């Protein structure tokens, strides 16, 4: 009876995942969709605790203890995190899920070896446990590395022959897995722990050489990995809600990864193999482009802005880092009051994640219709008097169109160079996240306004007011 009720609960849970994900893909219903999925998760968890056959009441303390600790930690970190750190946060939570799948495999492996004679383990179950272990470990460790990279704790680093090493290691892991399962070796445990170790190393080597600018794509990919790892649990326990949730995220996540790559006009292989070079080209800019940089101060910039009829803001990661979204909105309102038409040009991958800028600017109450996506804003630059680039770099680099040797060649960019004046706000002449020089800075129409985005914007506001 109990287990029959539980199956119905799992069915409702599964359907709510599907509906939730569907609603999440539309702006109007997205927030409700998240709640629908959360509801499905809650009933599935509670149902399992109270109705699953074989759950010992004496272990309720441990279960609720874990749930409470996890909920408090999860809520506090998720509430406290700044909007700029969202990408890291997603990566961190994704890693937790991967680690969970990994531990499940470890415990189930022990159960399996204790219940059966060595050398005579059921191959189907062993295969599922091994896959859960490998995928879970790679996802866990990979997410931790991605998290470290985004928060600046881990630097890009690649060995020579990195790709050969990676592929070799992956083949070794899979080979060892099949050998362990089908050879009937009595030494299963040793192989199991060796495979575990290799998977952890693979997770590190897989993410380490990938450039920081590509981290969103990697996180999305690892996200779908964890989905597949969760689905392995579904196979193991013949649990439909785990299976549906896991596979759904696995397939949706994979597609989302590809869509993100497309937004950058790159293929997934290109992201995974063609790592962005270091900053070798960083300091040779002025010789390379022949021009010189022109600096501009805040009061001259303010004059340009105030007497323009149309201004476009191009926000980037610099805006996010400086937490300048509110000041930015203030400047926009001030200019609008002076009769200047102000719009925001949103590049799909500006910041550290797709949609990052929308989230930030929406936080500071910038009207929805002022945020214009790349395809729609590009024709408008020609009629724009001033473009104010706020801490963006790679997304306005003309090298993406003109220099086939550039690592970002082929990525669609914002055509800011068509505007009459370009003011580029930057902290220093340092190269952007992709580690490459930007020719735009050396063009005669461009001027550089150095400083922290928030401070400089505040200065601009007071200068405009003073005029």
Partner 1 sequence: MLEFINSNIQIIYLVILMIFVGVELIEKVPSVLHTPLMSGANAIHGVVIIGAIIIMGQADNMFATLLGFVAVILGTLNVVGGFVVTDRMLEMFKKKK
Catalytic residues: 394
Residues whose CB is less than 8 angstroms from the CB of residue 217 and which lie 6 or more positions away in sequence, other chains included: 257, 260, 261, 264, 268, 271
Pattern 158-187, partner 1, x by CB under 8 A:
------------------------------
**Residue of 368, 405, 428, 444 interacting with partner 1 (CB under 8 A):** 368
Q: Which is nearer to partner 1, 101 or 324 (CB)?
A: 101
Q: How many residues bind partner 1 (CB under 8 A)?
A: 110
Please check whether residue 453 is in contact with residue 318, taking contact to mean a CB–CB distance below 8 angstroms: yes
Minimum CB–partner distance for residue 231 and partner 1 (Å)? 8
Q: Which of residues 186-245 bind partner 1 (CB under 8 A)?
A: 216, 219-220, 223-224, 226-227, 229-231, 233, 235-245
The DSSP letter of residue 276 is: P
Give the span between the Cα atoms of 103 and 92, in whole angstroms: 17
Minimum CB–partner distance for residue 2 and partner 1 (Å)? 13
Give the span between the Cα atoms of 431 and 410, in whole angstroms: 19
Which range of residues in 20-28, 171-179, 313-321, 448-456 is near partner 1 by CB under 8 A? 20-28
Q: Which is nearer to partner 1, 224 or 446 (CB)?
A: 224
Q: Which of residues 245-274 bind partner 1 (CB under 8 A)?
A: 245-253, 255-256, 259-260, 263
Tokens standing for residue 47: 């149902």
- The counts of H helices and E strands in the chain are 18, 6
Q: Which is nearer to partner 1, 110 or 155 (CB)?
A: 110
Minimum CB–partner distance for residue 124 and partner 1 (Å)? 7
Minimum CB–partner distance for residue 297 and partner 1 (Å)? 34
Give the span between the Cα atoms of 291 and 285, in whole angstroms: 9
Nearest to 453 by CA among 325, 330, 290, 335: 325
Pattern 343-362, partner 1, x by CB under 8 A:
-----x----xxxx-xx--x
Minimum CB–partner distance for residue 230 and partner 1 (Å)? 4
DSSP string, 224-246: HHHHHHHHHHHHHHT-HHHHHHH
Q: Which is nearer to partner 1, 210 or 424 (CB)?
A: 210
Q: Which of residues 72-131 bind partner 1 (CB under 8 A)?
A: 73-75, 77-79, 81, 86-87, 89-90, 92-94, 96-97, 99-101, 103-104, 106-108, 110-111, 124
372 membership: H or E segment, kind and range: strand 371-373
**Residue of 38, 118, 189, 382 interacting with partner 1 (CB under 8 A):** 38
Residues whose CB is less than 8 angstroms from the CB of residue 23 and which lie 6 or more positions away in sequence, other chains included: 29, 30, 32, 33, 34, 36
Give the span between the Cα atoms of 233 and 101, in whole angstroms: 7
First to last CA, the chain: 78
């Amino acid at each position: 009876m109990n287990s029959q009720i539980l199956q119905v609960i799992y069915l409702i849970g599964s359907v709510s995942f599907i509906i939730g994900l569907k609603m999440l893909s539309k702006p109007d219903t997205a927030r409700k969709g998240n709640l629908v999925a959360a509801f499905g998760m809650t009933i599935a968890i509670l149902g399992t605790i109270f109705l699953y056959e074989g759950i010992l009441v004496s272990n309720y303390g441990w279960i609720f203890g874990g749930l409470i600790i996890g909920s408090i930690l999860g809520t506090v970190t998720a509430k406290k995190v700044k909007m700029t750190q969202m990408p890291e946060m997603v990566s961190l939570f994704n890693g937790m899920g991967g680690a969970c799948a990994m531990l499940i495999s470890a415990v189930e492996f022990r159960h399996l070896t204790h219940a059966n004679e060595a050398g005579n383990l059921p191959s189907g179950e062993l295969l599922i446990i091994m896959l859960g272990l490998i995928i879970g470990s790679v996802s866990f460790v990979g997410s931790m590395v991605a998290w470290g990279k985004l928060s600046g704790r881990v630097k890009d680093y690649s060995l020579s022959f990195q790709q050969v090493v990676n592929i070799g290691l992956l083949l070794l892991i899979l080979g060892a897995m099949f050998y362990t399962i089908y050879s009937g070796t009595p030494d299963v445990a040793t192989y199991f722990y060796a495979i575990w170790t290799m998977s952890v190393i693979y997770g590190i080597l897989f993410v380490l050489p990938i450039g920081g600018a590509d981290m969103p794509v990697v996180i999305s990919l690892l996200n779908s990995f964890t989905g597949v790892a969760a689905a392995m649990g579904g196979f193991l326990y013949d649990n439909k809600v785990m299976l549906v949730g896991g596979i759904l995220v696995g397939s949706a996540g994979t597609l989302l990864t590809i869509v993100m790559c497309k937004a950058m006009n790159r293929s997934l292989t290109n992201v995974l193999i063609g790592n962005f070079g270091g900053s070798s080209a960083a300091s040779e800019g002025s010789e390379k482009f022949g021009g010189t940089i022109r600096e501009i101060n805040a009061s001259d910039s303010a004059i340009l802005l105030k007497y323009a009829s149309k201004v476009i803001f191009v926000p980037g990661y610099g805006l996010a880092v400086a937490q300048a979204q509110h000041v930015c909105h203030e400047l926009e309102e001030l200019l609008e009051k002076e009769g200047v038409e102000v719009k925001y040009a949103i590049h799909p991958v500006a910041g550290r994640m797709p949609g990052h800028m929308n989230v930030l600017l929406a936080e500071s109450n910038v009207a929805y219709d002022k945020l214009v996506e790349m395809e729609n804003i590009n024709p408008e630059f020609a009629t724009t008097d001033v473009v104010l680039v706020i801490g963006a770099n790679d997304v306005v680099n003309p090298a993406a169109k003109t220099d086939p040797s550039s690592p970002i060649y082929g990525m669609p960019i914002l055509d800011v160079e068509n505007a009459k004046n370009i003011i580029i706000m930057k902290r220093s002449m340092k190269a952007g996240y992709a580690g490459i020089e930007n020719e735009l800075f050396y063009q005669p129409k461009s001027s550089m306004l150095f400083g922290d985005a928030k401070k400089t914007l505040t200065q601009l506001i007071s200068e405009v007011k003073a005029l």
